[in-house]
Structure 1
Amino acid sequence: MSVLPWQLPHWARLQASRQRGALAHALLVCGAAGLGKRAFVRHFMQGLLCSEPVDGEPCGHCRSCLLIAAGSHPDLVTLSFGLRKDGVQRSEIVVDQIRELSARLAMNSQFGGWQVAIIDPADAMNAAAANALLKTLEEPAAQTMLILLADAPWRLPQTIRSRCQRVEFQLPAEADALAWLQDQGVRHPAEALAAAAGNPGLARAWAGEGALERRQEVRKDLAALAAGRGQPIEVVKRWLDNEPAQRLWFAAQATADEIRARSSVSAAPLASAMDVEALAHWYDAVNRTREALRGPLRGDLLLLELLAQWR
């Protein structure tokens, strides 16, 4: 079974509801990126559409399973970012996509069983799209399952969230996460887990793509700027060229460590000249900047303002 250890309680609850014939018509599957939400949804969806499931597990060889593997099951719809008329991918899910989806779900299942629609990422729906989805949520067709996947469910309107059964993945206990990382063959699992703030899936991914080295570079950069060495513009160029959002994540972590060190009257690792209150404000500014990188503002100006404040 491909369900991860920290997903087992949610899997068991959904399968118990299925056996009672009490599955909700809409699920909001959410939690931090890296906890395996999308793999969980794929596995659950395949078991739901499978004609010969065993305890919710798909058989892998029936017609439904083969069609899912080929990406051509007629009762499965996946909705994500579409293309604009000029061929450029959109950065949000728009109302016309939701209207087409609703029209599709109003038709009968071609296989006579469940119809499943997955919206991913659901938190990318604009306001008009979210409003259009409300009617489908309020008047669901029989044996229709709507699954909303979201890393940031708070971006969804409350009217949407309140009409879905919430399946939210939490971070596992540190010991369980470390044991899983060791089973996955991750080197330096404790360091990787600390970098990912306790998220084992993220830790495994980052450990294999140089994130731990970037974490050390960020701390060295901040310490150098605090000591008056180097120029913020040079740091900005390097950060922008290589995972700027991740580097800001690590900058926030380093600032939190600096604040904790000040509180315990131990040596502060970054030796910043800012007091604790100023550090806390800068920590907030880092997180705002990381969020702002998703928008239209120039990343170089955002980072330059932030690092100039630090120096």
Structure 2
Amino acid sequence: MNPLPAMTPWQQRAHAQACEAIRAGHFGHATLMIGPQHIGKRLLAEHLARRVLCLSPQADGAACDACKSCRLFAARTQLEALEVRPDGTPAHPWGHSAHPDLFFLGFEIHPKTGKPRTEIVIEQIRALTEKMGLTAQLGGAQVVIVDPADAVNWHAWNAILKTLEEPQPGRHLWLLSSSPAQLPATIRSRCQQLTVRLPPRAEALEWLRQRGHGAALAEEALDAARGHPGLADAWASGDGLDVRRAVLRDAQALARGQVAAVEVAQRWVADGRADERLRHLAEHALHEAAGLTDPAATRTLAARFDAANRARGLLRTTVRTDLAVAEALLAWR
């Protein structure tokens, strides 16, 4: 029995493409898995890892569910289901796995601050290349998943170039990215690409209804998420749409001069959801710009869109969060 959650139709399409490449012997050593945030790249990668790591695959290449690798994979998945924080993230550090030939690389906890790092540092990459140089413990394949690859420190990529240039049989390096343009060209050119695309609107709405959302709510959430069903589901399941509505009210109040940018910024950062609000702000600017023919108004909204996304980038640096948000909000005065 597959211990992983079932894939969505759009994940299944990307999975089928990868499986066909595996069967044909064309699935490369390094693969860049591309798609918007929250579209399900991680789950897709884990389904593929289970298949690749299986020691006794079925005739069609599917995992057997009985070999030592499959049992360890199932044990790892069950362990992760139990060890989660209140927000749903794994309680165990990245890089650790009950499966000896499956490795994850992501945001580690900073030893001094006790908080997750904002980037993947060179020490992590060096440890990864060492692991990939070792023999697989179960005698089969070895899989390393880097998520998000966008967060790898620019200088740290040099440490992995040799691994990409001199691949070893049975070693798989999968880079998960929502912004592949941020990766060095030398990395992108050495990877095959597997893209998880947004589904057709009708398919997304049907999936949202299957998730238990009413038709009107599903429509509103999908429109707010610009066709992204994963985001729409998250917003419709929690208070994401309420947060979005509040962001739009704040933007209108700023435009009328009814509130100060600094005051709004302090409210936006108080609960740690500034990035979510800035995303809504950027999407609002795009929505407002749709259909405009006035060049001046279009330039204004483009500047607001750029300011919101620039602030989102600054949130991952040492710049004070409230100052970064306030700068983005000033564009709405």
TM-score (norm 2): 0.83
1:282 & 1:21 partners in 2: Cα distance?
47
Q: Offset of 1:283 from its aligned partner?
A: 2.4
Could you tell me the percent identity over the aligned residues? 42
Query: 2 CA distance for matches of 1:129 and 1:119?
Result: 13
Query: Which residue does the alignment assign to 2:287?
Result: 257
Partner of 1:95: 122
Q: 1:231 to 1:181 in 2, by over 3 A?
A: same
Q: CA RMSD in A?
A: 2.2
Tell me whether 118-127 or 160-169 shows the greater mean CA deviation. 118-127
- Choose the corresponding residue for 2:305, options 276, 279, 283: 283
Per the alignment, residue 235 of structure 2 pairs with 206
Provide the rounded CA distance (Å) in 2 between the counterparts of 1:33 and 1:252: 15
Matching residue of 1:79: 105
The offset of 1:294, in angstroms, is 1.9
Partner of 1:22: 26
The alpha-carbon distance between structure 1 residues 62 and 306, as it changes in their structure 2 partners (threshold 3 A), is: same
Task: Map 1:155-170 to 2 at 5 A.
Answer: 155-170=182-197
- Look up the match of 1:6: 10
Deviation at 1:262, TM superposition (A): 4.8
Please tell me the residue identity of whatever aligns with 1:151.
Answer: S
Deviations 1:49-93 (A, max 9, x none): 123434343333432122123332222222223355536443322
Q: Provide the secondary structure at the position in 1 that maps to 2:290.
A: helix
Letter in 2 for 1:299: T
Classify 1:21/1:225 alpha carbon distance in 2 versus 1 (closer, same or farther; 3 Å).
closer
The 1-side partners of 2:308 and 2:120 are apart by 27
Q: CA deviation at 1:230?
A: 3.0
Q: Distance in 2 between matches of 1:67 and 1:282?
A: 49
Match of 2:253 in 1: 224
- Which residue is equivalent to 1:65? 70
SS in 2 for 1:310: coil
Of stretches 89-98 and 34-43 in structure 1, the one that deviates more from structure 2 is: 89-98
Structure 1 residue aligned with 2:174: 147
Specify the alignment match of 1:296 in structure 2. 318
Q: What residue in structure 1 maps to residue 153 of structure 2?
A: 126
Alignment-derived partner of residue 33 in structure 1: 37
Alpha-carbon distance in structure 2 between the residues aligned to 1:259 and 1:122: 31
| 2:208 maps to 1:181 | yes
Closer, same or farther: CA 282–123 of 1 in aligned 2, 3 Å: closer
Q: Which amino acid aligns with 1:24?
A: G
Distance 1:215 1:130 in 2: 36
CA distance in 2, matches of 1:254, 1:219: 7
Question: 1:269 — aligned with what?
Answer: none
How far is the alpha carbon of 1:25 from its aligned partner? 0.8
Moved more, 32-41 or 297-306: 297-306
1:240 is matched with 269
